[in-house]
Structure 1
Amino acid sequence: MKKILFLVAASALMVACGQKGQTSGAANGGDSAATTADSLVYEGEIPGADGTFNTRLALAQDSTNGFSLTETSTKDSAAAAPKTGKFEAVQSKDAKGFKLVIAQDDVRYFLQKNDSTLSLVGDSTLTPAASGMNYDLKLKK
């Protein structure tokens, strides 16, 4: 009887431990922008020194102000891990935009051209690039 009870308990333990439970991105330390259904998602191709990057930016539309930024090189199609963090709305003299703090030494600024277009800019002045190159991301959903 003890052997049967032991086998039943061991089987139950193995079944319970073998379940691959689904956890949310927030529970894994991820950002809510990756899991929030009501995020604003912008996509486009951004030129870089090493080639063009397919860029996807998701901005959470809730109180978390979270974002998820994914950049994939068109040269080798290698996608880096999404960068997540907090964004804040910024305003210069004539323009509005967003400041994305990825790390202490990695801050990105996006100019809000209109309701459906963000443009990557160099600093908090939100001045568009003088190079004439297209740094725009378009709203997808």
Structure 2
Amino acid sequence: MDRVFRAWLAVASLTTLFGFAGCSGGGDGPARFRSSGSVTIDGQPVSQGMVYFMPAAGNEGPQGYATIQGGKYDTNRDGGGTVGGMHRIKIVAPDFEYESSGDIDLPKSDGTQNFELKAIDVRRIVPGPPA
């Protein structure tokens, strides 16, 4: 009886393990691609913030995102790859926000996209008084 129980436990464990492994690879959703690059404003690296990749009208798929650290971002680090195709871009940093005025065509493959912003193109965020 003990041997039968151990065999059943091994089969159950392997079934569970393979079930979890099958859930972690994109599943039924669209393929996502790695996007990485730099984010600067007037030539200076943006120290921290977020980049959002929002599919434009007619482009199916989830929004991608990446954390900016030291002027660099990488969707692989955060797990929010892009679906490729036409996107609107939003960049949020502690002291400014930027949203693209037009769409950007991202590759349907891994790629590099640098964002070289100008201070005149961003909306400054002024911190409010302490609560």
What TM-score bracket applies, with the shorter chain setting the length? 0.3 to 0.5
Normalising by structure 1, what TM-score?
0.37
Normalising by structure 2, what TM-score?
0.39
Query: Which is helix-richer, 1 or 2?
Result: 2
Which structure's relative contact order is higher, taking Cα pairs within 8 Å and 6+ residues apart?
2
Query: Which is strand-richer, 1 or 2?
Result: 1
